[in-house]
Amino acid sequence: MPLSLYNTMSRSLERFQPINDEEVGLYTCGPTVYNYAHIGNLRTFLFEDLLKRTLIHLGYKVKHVMNITDVGHLTGDGDEGEDKLEKMAQKTKKTVWDIADFYTNAFFSDYGQLGMLAPTITCKATDHIPQMIDLILRLEKGGHTYVSGGNVYFSIDSIPDYGKLARLDLESLRTAVRDDVDQDSNKKNSKDFVLWFTKSKFGEQSMMWDSPWGRGFPGWHIECSAMSMHYLGEQFDIHCGGIDAIPVHHTNEIAQSEAATGKTWVNYWVHGEFLLDETGKMSKSKGEFLTLELLKKKGYDPMDYRYFCLGGHYRSQLKFSFDSLTTAKTARKNVCDRIVALKREGAQVKALESEKALSYQAAFDEHIQNDLNTPRALADLWGVLKDDGLSIDEKYSLALLFDEVFGLGLATLQVPVIETIDDPTALDLLKKRTEAKLAKDWAEADSIRQQLDALGYLVKDTASGPSLEKKM
Ligand code: AMP
Ligand code: ZN
């Protein structure tokens, strides 16, 4: 079964067909590094990692480019407000460069702890100003820009299909009352957007570069167009982000990229739905600021959050609560316990042969290829782990195969140090206790624990399985 993905552009599931069979070009809008990522942001990056892992699992080579927005992202997506980094720098009395470095490092620390595969290329906006200037020059030559009040604007009326991704109704937008308090009076059309700022209306701007239009800094949207085309070419396969990027950021990226090249820019637009908190939309400025570090402080492993996200389809809103994270934690621990038990029994990765094992593999592939249906794919994993008609090698091999997509790190789980205890009776009892627990025979498991206690051993249940310690 081929991979099908929901393309926001067509609002339908489409069979994925890369431009080049050898390598898929994937661009994911990266973080704006003015603060820690909240777990909602991380949900979007996790869905993108899932997509990339699925492509790799299906045999594609993936060239993944992710930008770091370290300049130009204003507090409002439509050119309103202040530069997010400048604002944080002023608040903390640090330089913008220090802010960007600090939060870029924090972001990649979260990224690694959540088991996300590093992008092939990570690119900072501030390292690509010449590419942005070149692209603006190209747009200027094509008659798509105007200078007003010192800034260079993209004119949305210079192209026939502005807003096609978001299916914006331009007529009503044109006649709409301009009620935005921060409305930029330099614009000919309220949806025109800035490509290059020279006159910062937001006070002192410390990141500035020379340009044909004067010293200044780029708009946010031009960053992604310039960097993605620089690394992936003028046409590439997949562009991702959170759904909030559809109406402004991605709409503007498409407008300027396609105006510059005259070609369709990206073939598949794939967007992840939001993570909601108890109060609704998650934000960095209201309520408890939910970061990965906060989850860790409360006793969760980053992988518990990864497992939690896999439990919801990426195109459905997901409601976060500590209760549901605890449920995910327990479920993940059960998966890990079972994998360690299989390893302890000597399970090996082998080629799948039996009809039963192959049918599990086929079901998993069908679910994951159907627009990344992780809830169904997780149910397949549980089916495998609980099916006693499979050999231990088959269970282990299937689980590790599925984990190429889930990314829960199952292959690296270690059997705890009980092997250093060289007491066959105790080890045999521990094995029986694990079996009793898997069979949910709690009375038997308790009774074995007591027998071990009487022999002088303490049983501890860890995230990667039970361990045995000699009592002092
Ligand atoms: P930012 O660092 O603010 O540019 O955001 C990084 C990514 O997080 C973007 O792709 C946003 O679309 C996404 N995002 C923002 N809020 C949420 C949320 N509550 N749930 C899921 N993704 C989000
Ligand atoms: Zn972007």
Angstrom distance (rounded) from CA 394 to CA 383 = 12
Contact 83, 72 (CB under 8 A): yes
Q: Which is nearest to 152 in space by CA: 224, 83, 74, 212? A: 212
What pLDDT does residue 200 have? 64
Q: Which ligand is nearest to the CA of 67?
A: 2
Residues paired with 236 in a beta bridge: 266
What pLDDT does residue 207 have? 85
What pLDDT does residue 92 have? 81
Q: Would you state the torsion angle of the CA atoms of residues 414, 417, 421, 423, taken in this order, to the nearest 10 degrees?
A: -30
Question: Would you say residue 472 has pLDDT above 70?
Answer: no
Closest ligand 1 atom number to CA of residue 41: 8
Confidence category of residue 186, pLDDT binned at 50, 70, 90: confident
Q: Among the CATH numbers 1.20.120.1910, 1.10.340.30, 3.30.1490.190, 3.40.640.10, which is that of 292-412?
A: 1.20.120.1910
Q: Which ligand is nearest to the CA of 77?
A: 1
What pLDDT does residue 139 have? 98
What pLDDT does residue 150 have? 87
How far is ligand 1, taken at its centre, from the CA of residue 284, in Å? Answer: 10
Contact 213, 196 (CB under 8 A): yes
What pLDDT does residue 111 have? 97
Residue with more model confidence, 20 or 207? 20
Neighbours of 217 (CB within 10 A): 23
Who surrounds ion ligand 2 at CB < 5 A?
29, 224
Confidence category of residue 174, pLDDT binned at 50, 70, 90: low
Return the sign of the alpha-carbon dihedral for residues 248, 252, 253, 258. Answer: positive
Q: Whose alpha carbon is nearest atom 18 of ligand 1? A: 40
Our answer on whether the CB atom of 274 is closer than 6 Å to any ligand 1 atom is yes
Query: How many residues comprise the chain?
Result: 472
**Stretch 184-200: mean pLDDT:** 86
What pLDDT does residue 180 have? 42
Residue 10 burial (CB < 10 Å; 0-12/13-18/19+)?
exposed
What pLDDT does residue 182 have? 41
Which of 85-99, 360-374, 377-391 is least confident?
A: 85-99
Q: Which residues of 362-390 are buried (b: 16+ CB within 10 A; e: fewer)?
A: ebbbebbbebbbbeebbebbeebbeeeeb
Give helix 374-386 / helix 322-344 axis angle, nearest 10°: 40
Question: Would you say residue 74 has pLDDT above 80?
Answer: no
Residue with more model confidence, 353 or 462? 353
Question: Would you say residue 419 has pLDDT above 60?
Answer: no
**Stretch 20-26: mean pLDDT:** 94
Question: Would you say residue 233 has pLDDT above 90?
Answer: yes
**Stretch 289-313: mean pLDDT:** 97
Question: Which of 44, 281, 283 has the most ligand 1 atoms within 8 A of CB, as the residue to mutate?
Answer: 44
Our answer on whether the CB atom of 32 is closer than 6 Å to any ligand 1 atom is yes
Question: Would you say residue 389 has pLDDT above 70?
Answer: yes
Q: Which ligand is nearest to the CA of 110?
A: 1
How distant, in Å, are the alpha carbons of 25, 50, 268, 390 from that of 18? 8, 18, 9, 36
Tell me, rounded to whole angstroms, the distance of Cα 418 from its chain centroid.
Answer: 37
Give percent above pLDDT 90 in the chain.
Answer: 72
Residues in CB range of 374: below 8 A, 6 or more apart: 50, 310, 311, 312, 313, 314, 368, 406
Structure tokens at 350: 């082998």
How far is ligand 1, taken at its centre, from the CA of residue 250, in Å? Answer: 13
Which residue, chain included where needed, has tokens 């004067």?
Answer: 214
pLDDT tens by residue, 328-338: 999 999 999 99
Question: Which of 103, 244, 290, 305 has the most ligand 1 atoms within 8 A of CB, as the residue to mutate?
Answer: 244
Our answer on whether the CB atom of 30 is closer than 6 Å to any ligand 1 atom is no
Question: Would you say residue 177 has pLDDT above 50?
Answer: no
Closest ligand 1 atom number to CA of residue 73: 4
Contact 141, 221 (CB under 8 A): no
Q: Whose alpha carbon is nearest atom 23 of ligand 1? A: 41
Question: Would you say residue 448 has pLDDT above 60?
Answer: yes
Per CATH, the architecture of 4-272 is what? Answer: 3-Layer(aba) Sandwich (3.40)
How far is ligand 2, taken at its centre, from the CA of residue 324, in Å? Answer: 31
Neighbours of 239 (CB within 10 A): 29
> For the whole model, what pTM was predicted?
0.87
Q: Whose alpha carbon is nearest atom 12 of ligand 1? A: 242
Contact 1, 14 (CB under 8 A): no
Structure tokens at 10: 């067509």
Our answer on whether the CB atom of 248 is closer than 6 Å to any ligand 1 atom is no
Angstrom distance (rounded) from CA 352 to CA 333 = 26
Question: Would you say residue 39 has pLDDT above 90?
Answer: yes
Question: Would you say residue 44 has pLDDT above 90?
Answer: yes
What pLDDT does residue 11 have? 96
The amino acid that residue 238 corresponds to is I
Which of 59-63, 107-111, 127-131, 196-200 is least confident?
A: 196-200
How far is ligand 1, taken at its centre, from the CA of residue 181, in Å? Answer: 24
Give helix 302-310 / helix 374-386 axis angle, nearest 10°: 110
**Stretch 234-250: mean pLDDT:** 97
Q: Which ligand is nearest to the CA of 32?
A: 1
How distant, in Å, are the alpha carbons of 83, 199, 221, 334 from that of 214? 19, 9, 19, 61
What pLDDT does residue 176 have? 46
Confidence category of residue 417, pLDDT binned at 50, 70, 90: low
Angstrom distance (rounded) from CA 80 to CA 342 = 56
Task: Read off φ and ψ for residue 193, nearest 5 degrees.
Answer: -140, 160
Residue 101 burial (CB < 10 Å; 0-12/13-18/19+)?
middle
Give percent above pLDDT 70 in the chain.
Answer: 90
Q: Which of 322-326, 419-423, 450-454 has the largest mean confidence?
A: 322-326
Angstrom distance (rounded) from CA 166 to CA 249 = 10
Question: Would you say residue 463 has pLDDT above 80?
Answer: no
Question: Would you say residue 73 has pLDDT above 90?
Answer: no
**CA max distance for the chain:** 86
The amino acid that residue 382 corresponds to is W
How far is ligand 1, taken at its centre, from the CA of residue 422, in Å? Answer: 52
Domain ranges across the chain: 4-272, 292-412, 424-470
